[in-house]
Amino acid sequence: MIPESGPHLIFLTLYAQGAVPFSVLLASSILQDGHGMLPLLADSRLDFLRIKAINFSVGLLLGLAVFWAGW
């Protein structure tokens, strides 16, 4: 879980301080893609939004599942 963007670094710091549970860090790690999506955004906004929707869904579902499991 190496921080690759500013927002991810914030969540990593909050997790290290015990302010947020692991499930939040996991969901953040799935959702944060840094600058990797910029070329796709320049090419196709629709594909960019589709991938972001998939990332959001997977991050939310896994984050909730891990949270409910007690992590």
d(CA 56, CA 50): 10
pLDDT tens profile 3-53 = 566 777 888 889 999 999 999 988 888 888 767 788 888 888 898 899 889
d(CA 40, CA 7): 20
Position 57 confidence tier, pLDDT thresholds 50, 70, 90? very high
Residue 63, token pair as written in the block: 């984050």
Q: What is the per-residue pLDDT for 64?
A: 93
Q: Domain for residue 45, yes or no?
A: yes
Q: Range of 25's domain? A: 6-68
Q: Domain for residue 1, yes or no?
A: no
Q: Domain for residue 38, yes or no?
A: yes
Q: What pTM, to 2 d.p., does this model score?
A: 0.75
Number of domains forming the structure of the chain: 1
Q: Domain for residue 44, yes or no?
A: yes
The more confidently predicted of residues 59 and 6 is 59
